[in-house]
Amino acid sequence: MTEPREKEKNAYTDLLGFLEEGELVEAIVFGPWGWSGYDEPDPIPVPHELFDEPLKLEDAKQYMRGWSFYSGFGSPQSYAVYIWTNRRIIWVTQYDGSTKLDSAPRNPIKIRPYMPGG
């Protein structure tokens, strides 16, 4: 009998799960993997010539398979991103290599700020 395969990592699915109801992604920009490209997967999921370029989510979707915005401690196992939605700006935050999505409102609103990372 074969062991069940680990669910494939998918940053696109991670992002969809992070969005609020009615929230729409307007653009995503990819930056380097982890700590300046250290331990980037081979083959690379996001071609480096696409770094710094705003992409529509549907165009970026194909590059978001095989990796996740969520990782454990050690070197970050994610690309840096800025994601603009109709409500927020989203990015990857990390603490000692552990990564997750974080965000701030796109426009000023009454909100309690918090200190990420600890």
Q: How far is 90 from 74, CA to CA, in rounded Å?
A: 22
> Does the model's pTM come out above 0.75?
yes
pLDDT score of 106 = 97
pLDDT score of 118 = 64
- pLDDT, the chain, mean: 93
Strands 98-105 and 88-95: what pairing?
antiparallel
pLDDT exceeds cutoff 60 at 13: yes
